[in-house]
Chain A
Amino acid sequence: MEETDLVVLWGSNARETHPIFFHHVLRGVRNGARLYAVDPRRTSSAQWADAWLGLDVGSDIALANAIGREIIAAGLANEEFIRRATTGFDEYRARVDAYTLEYAERETGVPAALIRDLARAYATAPRAMICWTLGITEHHNAVDNVIALISLALLTGHVGRYGSGLNPLRGQNNVQGGGDMGALPDRLAGFQHVENDPLRARFDAAWGVTVPPKRGWNLTGMFSAMERGELTALYVIGENPAQSEADQGKAVRALAGLEHLVVQDIFLTKTAAMADVVLPAAAAWAETEGTVTSSERRVQRVRKALEPPGEARDDLAIIFDLAARLGADWGEPSAEAVWDEVRRLSPVHAGMSYARLEAEGGLQWPCYDEQHPGELFLHARLWEDPVPGTRAPFVPVDHDPPVDRLDADFPIRLTTGRRLDSFNTGVQSGGFRSPLRRGETIDLAPEDAARIRVADGERVRVVSRRGAVEAPVRIDEGLRPGLAFMTFHFPDDVATNLLTIDATDPKSGTAEFKATAIRVEKLRPVARRPRRSRAIVGARGGR
């Protein structure tokens, strides 16, 4: 980050959500890099940018395709790289041809001159990065959004080189590691596809069982299966879906309809409170041994510093006991032994012994053997001639606006996200007394607040097609008219996810948390209301 010439922060408020990463961004800026922020909100990150492209929620592909078209039209595409390292460029060029600057300005709300400026700056920068977060991926077309950004990197050759690349910033300390370990419906450890027979056969042989040869359901697929009655028992480890799922009312009904729910967590969360069996777990970062993997693919050791309270036990010990009850004796639970099994089965982790992770302060995968230093950046092969393996394909994608349409009844676009001092449903961050914390608010643009005639701090009713909540207004000048913002950090007070829509991306299963159509209603002044906000479930409104 520090040795690049241009950074595009797209759908990411890293200043608040990845603060230490943003230190490195700012060092890059001080070293001379230009920073562009693409975000519906003028966030605290955008305030550091040379230019802020304040696009309408869900218009990312219109913007990216217009940038692609402009780069091609200006003759700034890296033709040599495209010819040697990619496929499908002609189809891409034909598809983006309709995305003129004028069209993009109309669809995204970003001035054409700014789009052109970003396109040319990105294409001509010697080194450039695109970084994104959930602003790209919490949409019904999340994967297409990502592909649109990848195409820009392929168009300019800003991938596979030092100081250039594509960086999805991970939101949790081991969300990368979870995927790496095969906690995905179509993957085994090391991203090996479960439907690839020779790869799966190695796992069959190592485990002495037949691994199911077809992919399973992702989280949203599991909820659909619960609604259909196909999934009747659920084992939840370290997740609070009763409060974190989009369209919370629907999610809670699905969980309540299960025949059997087991929750393994460090707290009695709202989900755990619904469970038939609760397995108290140790905190996996301070009470157990193991590893986590960060955004930059760095595997690092977590270590036990505290004894777990009461009957809480290491997740590993619980799972080993469960296996024993199911008739499989896995022996004594040991994080290092499990890791060594990962190393035997996942080629990209093979060289990462605990001894090396200790001595070298973590290693970045892929790390194929004990002598391999790990890879600082991926896709370097695209710069070899000829390119080893498959060339990178351009995949044309089209703009498709959010599912929850704005209309006269629901005229305001609500988007959700995090604040600096809080985290997700507040299960962790609720434990410390942050002087910055103000509780949940509905953040409105000054123009909208004036139109609805509500003042800063005034409680209002926020209504979507699925539910309604009450919350105090906070006027935020970083919001453009028609845009509102809430977090989901205080779900016991304000259940924001009663409002959100569970329209999901068919490929990733991610729900469109970022785009809800709402209206904001002024409450009649009532004397002496209780101060705590209340959630109102089951408001009227068609779906």
Chain B
Amino acid sequence: MSTEIERIFYEPPARPTRIPEAPPAEPQPAVELTLDGRAVTVPAGSTILDACRAAGIEIPTLCFLESLTPVNVCRVCVVEVTGSRVLVPSCSRRVEPGMEVLTASERVRHGRRIVLELLASAVDLSLAPGVAEMLDAYGADPLRFGPSAPAAAAGEREARHPGHHEPPDGAAAEIVALPVKVDNDLYVRDYSRCILCYRCVEACGTDAQNTFAIAVAGRGFDARISTEYDAPLPSSACVYCGNCIGVCPTGALMFRSEFEMRAAGTWNEARQVTTDTICPYCGVGCTLTLHVQDGAVVTVTSPMGSAVGEGHLCIKGRFGFPFVQERPTG
């Protein structure tokens, strides 16, 4: 090797005179609008939700997640925009100059209440953080649709063809329940808890993992998240990154470990402590949040604010921890 290159190895490198940084973001023109009569100014391209959060106005959301493209399906975040025939989803609607937004009008509250009642009457939301408070806040009464209809048998909902669904007679509230899908050692799918927010589909698709193992199948009330041809996960394209679990807002997707502990009655979040550390596998440096109960890791998540992975992990990061708590047997 030349002496030139040897010298580079021996001497510490010279420092740049300026600290390298990313080029500055293009400045966005300011947009003026009113929120509940208050004049606010936000950068162009902001959503109404961005503007509300910047102004300290609380807007409930279910399907929205900062790291995913808004799909505005749950309609819990709707607001009233003067001149708009219908309520608009604040998570995806961009601000426009002069827009007049009402975030807490009776029409808005009524819309949110209906959405919450329909969801809560059909879906088991007992593990969805924040939903009980939302139901209270909007006076939602899911039981007004009557008692829940019986759950579908295994395979029943999947077998229905679009358009062949019989309309209910009104005696009971239709529910989306079906048996929990337990088909692998790493995670389970309990679509009785699914609100069809699309977050898992997006995380599996273009927003993160780009594996496309799942999509929405069926139409109307029979719409559901499914692998291709409803194949069990081990026969599907799934690579078990578990990013669908990471984004699921209702507990429909769950670590097998959590599912079994809940079934056994040993799951106890009050006794769980979380610790952030770095994944022990490759050199990317994803943050792992270890959820430890009674001296053992029970689940792993990753903080959405991490610049490295934005909350996403791979199969090794999310599920590869058990080696650390292996104990000699026999």
Which residues of chain A have a CB within 8 Å of any CB of chain B? 3, 17-21, 23, 26, 30, 48, 87-88, 160, 162, 169-176, 186, 191-193, 195-196, 199, 266-267, 283-287, 292-296, 298, 300-307, 309, 347, 361-362, 366, 368, 372-373, 375-378, 380-381, 384, 388-390, 393, 395, 420-421, 423, 427-436, 507
Most B CB within 10 A of own CB, among A3, A23, A298, A428: A23
Residues of B within 8 A of A366 (CB): 15
**Which residues from B are CB-within-8-Å of A434?**
185-186, 240, 315, 319
Say whether B23 faces chain A, with CB atoms less than 8 Å apart. yes
Whether the Cβ atoms of B16 and A380 lie closer than 8 Å is yes
Interface pair A301/B320, CB less than 8 Å apart: no
Residue of B20, B275, B306 near A361 (CB, 8 A) is: B306
Let me know if B105 is at the binding interface, CB within 8 A.
Answer: no
Closest A residue to B22 by beta carbon equals: A162
Q: How many angstroms between the C-alpha atoms of A191 and B13 in the bound complex?
A: 10
Q: A285-B279, A395-B1, A420-B314 are in contact. Are A306 and B285 (CB under 8 A)?
A: no
Given A373-B19, A380-B20, A393-B4, is A20 in contact with B313 using a C-beta cutoff of 8 Å? Answer: yes
Q: Can you list 6 pairs linking A and B with CB atoms under 8 Å apart?
A: A171-B282, A305-B277, A388-B15, A420-B314, A428-B281, A431-B320
Given contacts A23-B309, A377-B20, A429-B320, 13 further A-B contacts (CB under 8 A): A18-B282, A171-B283, A174-B283, A199-B12, A267-B323, A286-B290, A294-B278, A303-B275, A305-B277, A388-B16, A423-B282, A429-B323, A436-B240
Nearest 7 CB-CB pairs, A to B? A389-B14, A170-B283, A294-B285, A431-B323, A305-B275, A19-B314, A380-B20
Q: Is there contact, CB below 8 Å, between B2 and A431? A: no
B172 at the interface (CB under 8 A from A): no
Chain B interface residues toward A at CB < 8 A:
1-2, 4-5, 7-23, 184-186, 206, 208-210, 233-234, 238-241, 273, 275-287, 290, 292, 295-297, 305-309, 312-317, 319-327
List of A residues within 8 angstroms of B10 by Cβ: 193, 195-196
B185/A435 in contact, CB under 8 A: yes
Q: Are A287 and B324 in contact (CB under 8 A)?
A: yes
- Docked pose: A133 CA to B12 CA in angstroms: 25
Q: Give the A-B contact count at a CB cut-off of 8 A.
A: 229
Q: How distant is the Cα of A363 from the Cα of B216 in the complex, in angstroms?
A: 41
Residues of A near B278 (CB, < 8 A) are 173, 285, 292, 294, 300-302
Contact call A393/B312, Cβ cutoff below 8 A: no
B267 to chain A, nearest CB (A): 18
Contact of A423 among B234, B238, B292, B320 (CB under 8 A): B320
Interface SS of A by simple majority: loop
Residues in A whose Cβ lies below 8 Å from that of B285: 173, 292-296, 298, 300, 362
Name the residue of chain A whose CB is nearest to the CB of B20: A380
Q: Which residue of B lies closest to A373 (CB)?
A: B19
Whether A283 lies near B241 (C-beta < 8 A) is no
B16 touches which one: A285, A384, A390 (CB < 8 A)?
A384
Measured CA separation A3–B26 after assembly (Å): 14
Minimal beta-carbon separation of A300 from chain B (angstroms): 5
- In whole Å, how far is A144's beta carbon from the nearest beta carbon of chain B? 9
Q: How far is the CA of A19 from the CA of B16 in the complex (A)?
A: 32
Contact A423/B307 with A17-B282, A381-B17 known, Cβ cut-off 8 Å: no
> Could you tell me the distance between the alpha carbons of A159 and B1 in the complex, rounded to whole angstroms?
22
Give Cα A20 to B10, complex, Å: 34
B326 in complex: contacting residue of A3, A17, A395, A431, CB < 8 Å: A431
Q: Give the residue of B284, B321, B323 whose beta carbon is less than 8 angstroms from that of A20.
A: B284
Report the Cα distance A191→B8, complex, angstroms: 11
Q: Which A residues lie within 8 Å of B16 (CB)?
A: 380-381, 384, 388
A240 to chain B, nearest CB (A): 13
Residues of B within 8 Å of A429, CB to CB, are 281, 316, 320, 323
Name the contact of A23 in the complex, choosing from B5, B22, B209, B238 (C-beta under 8 A): B209
Expressed in whole angstroms, the Cα–Cα distance for A375 and B20 within the complex equals: 6
Cα distance A160–B130 in the bound complex, in angstroms: 47
Which of A195, A286, A300, A435 gathers the greatest number of chain B CB atoms within 10 Å?
A435
Chain A residue at smallest Cβ distance from B23: A162
With known contacts A23-B209, A306-B292, A421-B240, A286–B18 Cβ distance under 8 A: no
**Do B283 and A390 have beta carbons less than 8 Å apart?**
no
- Given the known A-B contacts A20-B313, A196-B11, A294-B284, are A433 and B290 also in contact in the complex, defined by CB atoms under 8 Å? no
A230→B196 CA distance, assembly (Å): 67
Smallest beta-carbon distance A200→chain B, Å = 11
C-alpha spacing A403/B16, complex, angstroms: 41
**A423 & B14 in contact (Cβ 8 Å cutoff):** no
Structural contact, A435 and B184, CB atoms closer than 8 A = yes
Task: Contact check, B284 vs A18: say whether CB atoms are below 8 A apart.
Answer: yes
Flag if B314 contacts A175 (CB, 8 Å): no
Tell me the bound Cα distance from A372 to B19 in angstroms.
8
Which residues of B have CB within 8 Å of A390?
4, 7-8, 11, 13-14
Residue from the list B233, B239, B275 in contact with A420, Cβ < 8 A: B239
B151 nearest CB across to chain A (Å): 27
Contact of A380 among B2, B11, B18, B23 (CB under 8 A): B18
Residues of B within 8 A of A18 (CB): 282-284
* Cβ contact within 8 Å between B286 and A20: yes
With contacts A380-B20, A507-B1 taken as known, whether A285 is within 8 angstroms of B320 at the C-beta atoms is: no
Q: Are A381 and B309 in contact (CB under 8 A)?
A: no
Contacts of B325 in A (CB 8 A): 306, 309
* Complex Cα–Cα for A362 and B287 (A): 10
Contact in complex: B2, A88 (CB < 8 Å)? yes
Cα of A282 to Cα of B307 in the assembled complex, Å: 28
The smallest C-beta distance from A243 to any residue of chain B, in angstroms, reads: 16
Q: A303 contacts which of B206, B277, B283 (Cβ < 8 Å)?
A: B277
A436 touching B316, Cβ below 8 Å: no
Please tell me if the beta carbons of A285 and B280 are within 8 angstroms of each other in the complex. yes
- The distance from the CB of B144 to the nearest CB of chain A, in whole angstroms, is 43
Please indicate the chain A residues that have their CB under 8 angstroms from the CB of B20 in the complex. 160, 162, 375-378, 380
Which residues of chain A come closer than 8 Å to B21, judged between CB atoms? Answer: 162, 373, 376
Chain B residues near A48: list those with CB within 8 A.
210
Chain B residues, CB < 8 A from A23: 208-210, 309, 312
Q: Please, which residues of chain A bring their CB within 8 A of the CB of B324? A: 266, 283, 285-287, 306, 431
| B185 CB, min distance to chain A CBs, angstroms | 4
The interface residues of chain A lying within 8 Å CB-to-CB of B322 are: 431-432
> Closest CB of chain B to A228's CB: distance in Å?
25
Q: A18 to B282: give the CA distance in the assembly, Å.
A: 6
A173 touches B281 (CB 8 A): yes
